[in-house]
Amino acid sequence: MNAKNAFFILLIPLLLITGGCASTSKPKPPVAATPIAEIQKHPRNWVGKEVLVTGEVKETFSVIIHKQFVLKDPTGEITVVTSKPLPAKGEQLSIHGVVEEGLSVGSETKTIVREKEG
- Computed from CA positions of residues 74, 47, 117, 112, in that sequence, does the dihedral angle turn out positive or negative? positive
| Number of folded domains that form the chain | 1
In a domain, 66, yes or no: yes
CATH at residue 89: 2.40.50.140
In a domain, 59, yes or no: yes
Nearest to 59 by CA among 38, 36, 78, 41: 78
pLDDT at 65 over 50: yes
Torsion of CA 34, 42, 29, 80, to 10 degrees: 80
pLDDT at 85 over 80: yes
Radius of gyration of the chain (CA): 22
Domain range for 74: 25-115
In a domain, 51, yes or no: yes
* pTM across the whole model: 0.71
Q: What is the tens place of the pLDDT at every residue in 9-44?
A: 544 554 444 444 554 555 555 679 999 999 999 888
Contact 99, 49 (CB under 8 A): yes
